[in-house]
């Protein structure tokens, strides 16, 4: 394995760098930021723990050779770096979500999409893996429900959430972008939905304009299965739940506590616990994802990782949700 390039100096980039050094302590990392001095200061902090990291300038990332590139910059810059490194002989990891601009360019020029991994770490959540296996056995599921709740002021306390999440701005904020994980889980476990009806509201309870409550209803082609996806940014506690209802079973998946409750039609209840150390669960998923990415294998169906095509599909569905809310009617996906 050659040198790795990491683009970005935020909390997610920091997490990835720490995980890379945990997996491969002696690997060399180049760090790029639009502000070179910021990258330099960032590296000085890391060097006390590992001296195999150095800041680089834009010309360096264009001219140097890398085996792996990790794009963890602001969302608005993701497409720029994807276009650069899709032409090079390297594996690419890109954080989610992918921005709307140039989505059609990538859909038309997607020849090398399998060398790209999109950072949907919930695909590696053991509860999701369990549910994916279960639904292959239970084909009578007629209702899928996602519930997501968080308090924006608590969750984004280190950032200017008023700027990041004012409705409809160029930073791709607001409630519909916070559902990218749930939409990817839907595509990953089930299949691409055929149509959507969405409604977003702005309560202004946070003190500024934001679409803070959203409900979407998805339908699938040739199926009676319905999917309801709801999200809100006013909750005093974080919750992330998936419910599945079939003719024989009821499943409730808590993706914060990482518990699956299975109830059969005779009210028999079983509980399954995964990774009881919930504080580290999020990083365990990130770490597992990074290990698979660094294996240097191309993406495949058994590899579970999200490809560029998967990431673009999530962006396209969010685009349709926004359009449905604007038009006030069902929109085909």
> What are the tens digits of pLDDT across the range 151-161?
877 665 555 55
> What are the tens digits of pLDDT across the range 268-321?
999 988 865 555 777 888 999 999 999 865 544 445 899 988 999 998 998 899
State how far the Cα of 10 lies from the Cα of 67, in Å rounded to an integer: 22
Instruction: For the chain, give every residue range classified as CATH 3.40.50.720.
Output: 4-121
Cβ-count burial 143-179 (b if 16+ within 10 Å, e if not) = ebebbbbbbbeeebeeeebbebbeeeeebbbbbbbbb
Instruction: For the chain, give every residue range classified as CATH 3.30.360.10.
Output: 125-279+306-332
Average the pLDDT over 186-201 and give the result: 91
- Where would I find the beta strands (DSSP E) of 110-233? 116-118, 143-151, 195-201, 213-219, 226-232
Question: What pLDDT band is residue 168 in, cutting at 50, 70 and 90?
Answer: very low
Class of domain 125-279+306-332: alpha beta
Q: Structure pTM? A: 0.88
- Classify domain 4-121 at the CATH superfamily level: NAD(P)-binding Rossmann-like Domain (3.40.50.720)
Nearest to 25 by CA among 46, 45, 7: 46
State how far the Cα of 52 lies from the Cα of 21, in Å rounded to an integer: 9
In whole angstroms, how far apart are CA 90 and each of 112, 194, 298?
A: 11, 34, 11
State how far the Cα of 73 lies from the Cα of 58, in Å rounded to an integer: 14
> What are the tens digits of pLDDT across the range 244-279?
999 889 999 999 888 999 999 899 999 988 865 555
């Amino acid at each position: 394995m050659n040198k790795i390039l990491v683009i970005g100096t935020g909390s997610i980039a920091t997490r990835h760098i720490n995980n890379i050094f945990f997996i491969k302590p002696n690997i060399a990392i180049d760090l790029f930021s639009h502000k070179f001095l910021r990258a330099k200061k960032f590296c000085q902090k890391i060097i006390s723990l590992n001296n195999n990291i150095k800041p680089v300038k834009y010309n360096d990332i264009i001219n140097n050779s890398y085996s792996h590139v990790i794009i963890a910059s602001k969302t608005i810059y993701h497409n720029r770096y994807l276009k650069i490194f899709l032409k090079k002989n390297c594996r690419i990891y890109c954080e989610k979500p992918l921005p709307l601009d140039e989505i059609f360019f990538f859909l038309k020029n997607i020849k090398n999409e399998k060398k790209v991994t999109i950072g949907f770490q919930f695909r590696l959540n053991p509860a999701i893996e369990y549910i994916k296996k279960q639904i292959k056995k239970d084909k009578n599921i007629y209702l899928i429900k996602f519930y997501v709740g968080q308090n924006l002021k608590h969750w984004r306390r280190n950032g200017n959430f008023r700027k990041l999440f004012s409705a409809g701005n160029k930073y791709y904020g607001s409630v519909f972008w916070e559902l990218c994980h749930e939409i990817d889980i839907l595509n990953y476990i089930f299949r691409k939905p055929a149509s959507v009806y969405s409604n977003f509201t702005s309560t202004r309870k946070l003190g500024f304009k934001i679409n803070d409550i959203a409900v979407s209803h998805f339908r699938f082609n040739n199926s009676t299965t319905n999917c309801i996806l709801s999200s809100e940014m006013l909750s005093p506690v974080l919750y992330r739940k998936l419910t599945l209802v079939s003719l024989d079973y009821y499943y409730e998946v808590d993706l914060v506590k990482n518990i699956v409750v299975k109830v059969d039609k005779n009210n028999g209840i079983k509980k399954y616990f995964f990774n009881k150390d919930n504080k580290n669960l999020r990083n365990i998923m990130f770490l597992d994802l990074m290990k698979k990415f660094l294996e240097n294998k191309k993406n495949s169906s058994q590899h579970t990782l999200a490809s560029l095509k998967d990431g673009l599909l999530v962006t396209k569905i969010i685009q349709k949700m926004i359009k449905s809310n604007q038009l006030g009617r069902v929109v085909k996906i």
